Amino acid sequence: MIHGRVQGVYFRFYTQKKAFELALKGWVKNNADGTVAAVFEGEEDNVNQMVNWCHNGSPNAFVTQVDLFSEVYAGKETEFHIQY
């Protein structure tokens, strides 16, 4: 969960671009409360790089907080996509 000025600044687009670069699967979406939620699946080092990236995000974003939640790997994602 990413908090701050993260909607209306192409955060989801840049997240998807970075996830593609890191060969990650999962999704990213805007929440009604102004946060952005994301799920990342892939190699542990690549997931860690993605989480680190989320602390800054897109060029016009201002991230104030990143909440992490670990889940058991489900392997059900086939690509990385933006949820609408």
Q: Is position 30 annotated as part of the catalytic site?
A: yes
Direct distance between the N- and C-terminal alpha carbons of the chain, in angstroms, rounded to an integer:
16
| pLDDT class of 76 with cuts at 50, 70, 90 | confident
CATH code of residue 36: 3.30.70.100
Give the count of domains, the chain.
1
Give pLDDT tens digits for 57-73.
Answer: 999 999 999 999 998 88
Report which residue type is found at 59. P
Query: pLDDT (tens digit, 9 = 90+) per residue, 4-45?
Result: 999 999 999 999 999 999 999 999 999 999 999 999 999 999
Q: Which of 50, 58, 54 is nearest to 10 (CA)?
A: 58
Catalytic residue among 12, 52, 56, 60: 12
Cα 2 to chain centroid, rounded: 8
Structural domain boundaries enclosing 25? 2-82
The residue from 30, 31, 52, 56 that is catalytic is 30
Active site residue 60: no
Residue 74 is predicted with a pLDDT of 82
